[in-house]
Amino acid sequence: MPPSTDLLQGTLDLLILQTLALGPMHGWGVAQRIQQVSKDVLQIGQGSLYPALHRLEYKGWIQSDWGNSDNNRRAKFYSLTPNGRKQLESELETWERLSSAIGLVLGRVPGASA
């Protein structure tokens, strides 16, 4: 397994929101999805995943419902609320500004591969 990269503070929230933007998903699914999409670079331990999910739910950005999983097991599904969608947009914007700024400082054109 490739070594996991430490996540920037606050980035986890953004990743979860972005993942849930695709549709309702349970906790396990969120973790798997992030791992797959990032080609195993980003591995979310449950120790940070679930507190983050709960935190977002308490903030009203996501909501949860009990439903059945693919293997017909009762699971808690999270989905984005309208508020969460707005939050996602603003966080994306911030992220973009930040990463392009960092890119400038590092002397690389944003988007170019390292």
Partner 1 sequence: MIRELLTQIRFLVKHPKLTEMDDELQFHLEQSTATNIAGGMTAAEARRQALIEFGGVERTREQCYEQRPGWWMGTVLQDVRYALRGFRRNPVFAITVIATLALGIGATTAVFSVVDRILFRSLPYAHDDRLVSVGLVQSLSRQEFTVGGFFFDWRDNQKPFEAFASQGTMLHACDLIETNPAQLQCIKAQAGFLPLLGISPVLGRNFLPEEDRPNGPRVALISDGLWLNHYGRDPGILNRLINIDGNQTRVVGVLPQGFELPTVEEPDVMLPSALNEGLERRSSPGSPMRTFARLRPGVDIAQARAEMQPLFLHTQVTVIPAQIRKDFHLSVRSLRDRETKDVQLTAWILLASALAVLMICCANVSGLMIARGEARERERAVRSALGASRGRLIRQTLTEAALLSFAGAAAGMMLAEGLLRVFLDLAPSGIPFLSRAGIDFRIALFTVLLSLLCGATFGLLPAWQTPRALALAAHAAKSRKRTLLRRSLVVGQIAISMVLLSGAALLLKSFQNIEEQHLGVQSDGVLTARIALPGFRYDTGQKKMEFYLQAEAALRRLPGIRAVGFSDSLPPGGWQDSERFADLAVEGRPRPVQGTGGSVVSRGVSPDYFRALNIPIVMGRNFAEADRNDSEYWAVLSRLLAARMFPDEDPTGKRIQRIRDGIVFTVAGVADNVKNGGLTEQDQPEIYFLRRSVAQDWGGRAPVGEVMSGAAPLLVIDAELSTTAVAQWVRSQIAQIDPTVPVEIETLNQRVSKLADRPRFETALLGFFAFCGLVMAVIGLYGVISYVAVQRTQEIGVRMALGATRLDILRLISGEGLRLIVLGGVAGLGAALATAQLLKSLLYNVGPRDPAIYGAVALLLALVAFVATLIPARAAMRVEPAEALRYE
Q: Which residues bind partner 1 (CB under 8 A)?
A: 26-28, 45-47, 50-51, 54-55, 58-60, 69, 71, 73-76, 83
Asked if residues 77 and 26 have their Cβ atoms less than 8 Å apart, the reply is yes
In the bound state with partner 1, the residue whose beta carbon lies nearer, of 10 and 51, is: 51
Give me the least distance between CB of 94 and partner 1, in Å please: 18
Give me the least distance between CB of 67 and partner 1, in Å please: 11
Asked if residues 30 and 18 have their Cβ atoms less than 8 Å apart, the reply is no
Give me the least distance between CB of 26 and partner 1, in Å please: 7
In the bound state with partner 1, the residue whose beta carbon lies nearer, of 76 and 103, is: 76
| Alpha carbon distances (Å) from 93 to 35, 97, 99, 110 | 23, 6, 10, 14
* CA–CA dist 47, 107 (Å, integer): 36
Give me the least distance between CB of 43 and partner 1, in Å please: 10
In the bound state with partner 1, the residue whose beta carbon lies nearer, of 60 and 110, is: 60
Asked if residues 15 and 34 have their Cβ atoms less than 8 Å apart, the reply is yes
